[in-house]
Amino acid sequence: MSQAVLDYLEPLETRTRGVAVLDALADMVERSGLKIGDRLPPEVSLAATLGVGRSTIREALNRWEGLGIIRRRRGDGTYLSARVQTSRGLVPTMVRLEGEALLRLLEIRRTLENDVVRKATMKATRAQRVEIARLCDILLNEVAAGRPWRKADHAFHGAIYDASGNPMYGQLLVNLDNALERGGKSPFSADAFGLDSFPIHKDLADAMLVEDTEGAVGAIGRIIDVVEREVQAIIDGKTVG
């Protein structure tokens, strides 16, 4: 079967790294009809057929593994673990694949975030509630001033994780986010991505301050809703960063 799948590849005109290789692999998967659970051809065969070095193929597959598109079995091969469909419009294939991976990640985050926010609202000390509110104000000030906001965002959410009383929540959520590899120019890494969710962060902090558990859980749900809508809009080509 490997040779039949490889028939859907053509040598690249140049020894292109990155996007060209990723696009070629996505096109191969789609045109050959590979399904979730099917094995991809060996790296050496992919490299020879595309006319690129094996390290280039390995780099591309590492990117896919970071997006949850493939999984490797040591000594057995590389298997498809998510649907791959090439783009036919304005949105590059890798942007759409990143977006779909991010939506899968958000599905998991929603469950974890709901639980951690609920526990934090119930267990937080008065000092922790005040600190969460303070960090939220800092975050919103950074966003309003157009300054880099990610450090402040991590501090705000980290304080909520700490208030839950279970440090594993923070570790799991940080590891989930780090596991999803994004391209350097990905619209999902841009400072403008997710900005519409920040006003709701104030609702979250205010609810936690007054020990309103359901209000806090509702706020974190709305934050994730906004991010999901932005991801879907980028995938659909309605807003491409």
**Are 16 and 129 in a shared domain?**
no
219-233 CB burial, b ≥16 within 10 A, e <16: bbeebbebbbebbee
Digit-coded pLDDT (tens) for 54-103: 999 998 898 898 888 999 988 889 999 988 877 766 678 888 888 998 99
Q: What is the DSSP letter of 84?
A: -
Say whether both 52 and 118 belong to one domain: no
Q: Widest CA span of the chain, in angstroms? A: 65
Q: What is the DSSP annotation of 31-59?
A: HHT--TTPBPPPHHHHHHHHTS-HHHHHH
pLDDT, position 240: 46
For residue 77 the two structure tokens come to: 């091969």
pLDDT band at 190 (very low <50, low <70, confident <90, very high): confident
Q: Are residues 99 and 198 in the same domain?
A: yes
What pTM value is reported for the model?
Answer: 0.79
Say if residue 70 is in the same domain as residue 109.
no
In a domain, 86, yes or no: no
CB of 130 within 8 A of CB of 209? yes
Can you give the residue range of the structural domain that contains 42? 2-80
**The two structure tokens encoding residue 138:** 């800092």
Domain check: are 51 and 102 in the same one? no
Q: Which helix (H) or strand (E) holds 78?
A: strand 77-80
Q: How many domains does the chain divide into? A: 2
Which pLDDT band, with edges at 50, 70 and 90, does 17 fall under?
low
Nearest CA to 90 out of 240, 229, 232 is that of 240
Phi, psi of 81 (to 5 degrees): -120, 0
Q: Which residue has the tokens 């879907």?
A: 232
Using DSSP's 3-state secondary structure scheme, residue 96 falls into: helix
The token pair that represents 83 in the structure block: 């649907």
pLDDT at 182: 57
Q: Per the domain annotation, does 194 fall within a domain?
A: yes
What H or E segment, with its residue span, contains residue 70?
A: strand 70-73
Residue 40 has pLDDT above 90, yes or no: yes
For position 16, which CATH number holds? Answer: 1.10.10.10
Residues 97 and 144 in one domain: yes
Percent of the chain surpassing pLDDT 90: 55
Whether 240 is in a domain gets the answer no
Q: Return the pLDDT at 18.
A: 67
Count of alpha carbons within 13 angstroms of residue 46, beta-carbon side: 23
Residue ending a domain, choose from 46, 80, 114: 80
Q: Which of 80, 110, 145 is the last residue of a domain?
A: 80
Please say which residue of 55, 80, 105 terminates a domain. 80
CATH code of the domain covering residue 186: 1.20.120.530
Q: 109 and 228 in one domain?
A: yes
103 and 42 part of one domain: no
